[in-house]
């Protein structure tokens, strides 16, 4: 391998040719910053079934040899579209699972961008050296999205923190790529997205740092940003975490916990079924997503989820046991308007919340408010 870093491709001949062209066309890869003699910058491997083309021995060897600096991509239609196999690939050491050559190219260029941003910093997770602040910022949530949280001393500011990935993302690197400041009122939107053509549901691989140390499954969800209502937040989270533009079609549940925090569970569908391939390039938001038939959930255990809400909600929606309620009611419109005021910091809005919730309970069936 000489003195340069390299990309290893393991696939059938026709797929290898496609990948080779992809690597050769990625201008940045011809100028990879050196990891050291004999180091692999990236591996692209097909799933394979036989002894000569299976990715599993290679993944096992890379893991055993502690190739933590190597960005491993499993390029496989089967793996990318099967919820169980997808998670098995991550558990075996894959950093990314995709069926898309285009997305594999995006990932390779991103890996090269990290290495072509020289600076004084070393990755605290894999000890990759000579990174700029921006390069380290990108590297942590791209390359290490499948790794558990690590605490320690920040290589940039020397602060001792409990979660280095979160600290580096929010305190260093390009300001425009950091998390927005939390809205002054905490409320959350959950997106149950079902594709009408085949009734499959959207599952997101959560970053391992917030999912028990592995990229377990959940649904697109998150806290409302400043000035948002539930529907806006639902659409934003589906696009950020799953890469799918959705339209919100109904209200499934409205949950209020003992602290008064509201979580709205909304039903959604893709805006365009011809263009709803989930994302697969890992980033701060997720490690990708997959469309899954409800029967596939039987192959997953509680430990395969960040939280087993999809295993509860998706079968009930599929059976018609949990039916969506309309959003075009005065009660829901009033709630949305109040949420926008609350998340914008309007202190005068808080006393109105009990009345709004009471009118919602009068307008919707009890099933909406059942946990």
Digit-coded pLDDT (tens) for 169-188: 999 999 999 988 999 999 99
- The predicted pLDDT at position 57 comes to 83
d(CA 244, CA 239): 5
Phi-psi region of 213 (alpha: psi -120 to 50; beta: other; left: phi over 0): left
Count CA atoms closer than 13 A to 127's CA, side-chain side: 4
**Residues, the chain:** 371
* 222 burial via Cβ count (<10 Å: 0-12, 13-18, 19+): middle
- The predicted pLDDT at position 10 comes to 63
- The predicted pLDDT at position 30 comes to 45
- The predicted pLDDT at position 155 comes to 95
Question: Quick one: tokens of 144?
Answer: 């290490």
Neighbours of 336 (CB within 10 A): 17
d(CA 200, CA 244): 14
The stretches in the chain having pLDDT less than 50 are 1-3, 26-38
Angle between helices 133-143 and 101-115 (to 10 degrees): 140
- Give the position of tokens 């000035």: 227
Under 8 Å between Cβ of 96 and 71: yes
How much of the chain is in helix, strand and coil states, percent to nearest 5? 40, 20, 40
Confirm whether pTM is higher than 0.85: yes
d(CA 217, CA 202): 10
Under 8 Å between Cβ of 359 and 331: yes
Q: What is the DSSP letter of 184?
A: S
- The predicted pLDDT at position 38 comes to 43
* 316 burial via Cβ count (<10 Å: 0-12, 13-18, 19+): middle
- The predicted pLDDT at position 51 comes to 54
Question: Quick one: tokens of 2?
Answer: 């000489």
d(CA 351, CA 49): 62
- The predicted pLDDT at position 25 comes to 52
Neighbours of 286 (CB within 10 A): 25
- The predicted pLDDT at position 54 comes to 75
How far apart, in Å, do the first and last CA atoms of the chain sit?
A: 57
- The predicted pLDDT at position 139 comes to 94
Question: Quick one: tokens of 3?
Answer: 């003195």
- The predicted pLDDT at position 123 comes to 93
- The predicted pLDDT at position 240 comes to 98
Q: Is the dihedral of CA 212, 169, 90, 40 positive or negative?
A: negative
Q: Alpha-carbon Rg of the chain, whole angstroms?
A: 22
pLDDT, tens only, 146-156: 999 888 999 99
């Amino acid at each position: 391998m000489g003195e340069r870093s390299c990309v290893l491709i393991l696939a059938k001949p026709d797929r290898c040719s496609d990948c080779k062209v992809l690597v050769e066309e990625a201008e940045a890869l011809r100028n990879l910053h050196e990891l050291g003699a004999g180091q692999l910058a990236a591996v692209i491997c097909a799933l394979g079934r036989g002894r000569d083309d299976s990715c599993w021995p290679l993944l096992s060897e890379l893991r055993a040899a502690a190739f933590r600096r190597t960005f491993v991509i499993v390029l496989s239609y089967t793996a990318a579209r099967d919820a169980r196999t997808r998670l098995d690939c991550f558990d075996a050491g894959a950093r990314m699972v995709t069926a898309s050559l285009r997305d594999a190219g995006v990932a390779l260029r991103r890996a090269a961008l990290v290495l072509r941003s020289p600076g004084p910093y070393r990755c605290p997770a894999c000890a990759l050296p000579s990174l700029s602040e921006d390069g380290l910022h990108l590297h942590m949530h791209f390359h290490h999205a499948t790794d558990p949280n690590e605490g320690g001393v920040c290589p940039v500011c020397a602060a001792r923190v409990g979660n280095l990935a979160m600290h580096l993302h929010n305190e260093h690197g390009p300001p425009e790529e950091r998390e927005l400041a939390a809205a002054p009122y905490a409320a959350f939107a959950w997106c149950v997205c079902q594709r009408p053509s085949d009734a499959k549901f959207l599952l997101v691989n959560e970053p391992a740092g917030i999912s028990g140390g592995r990229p377990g499954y959940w649904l697109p969800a998150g806290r409302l940003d400043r000035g948002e209502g539930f529907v806006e937040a639902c659409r934003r989270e589906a696009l950020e975490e799953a890469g799918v533009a959705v339209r919100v079609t109904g209200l499934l549940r409205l949950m209020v916990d003992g602290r008064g925090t509201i979580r709205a569970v909304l039903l959604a569908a893709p805006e365009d079924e011809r263009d709803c391939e989930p994302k697969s390039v890992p980033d701060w938001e997720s490690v990708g997503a997959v469309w899954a038939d409800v029967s596939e959930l039987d192959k997953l255990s509680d430990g395969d989820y960040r939280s087993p809400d999809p295993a509860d909600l998706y079968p009930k929606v599929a059976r018609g046991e949990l039916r969506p309620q309309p959003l075009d009611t005065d009660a829901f419109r009033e709630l949305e308007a109040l949420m926008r005021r609350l998340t914008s910091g309007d202190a005068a809005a808080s006393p109105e919340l009990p009345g709004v919730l009471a009118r919602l309970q009068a307008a919707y069936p009890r099933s909406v408010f059942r946990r």
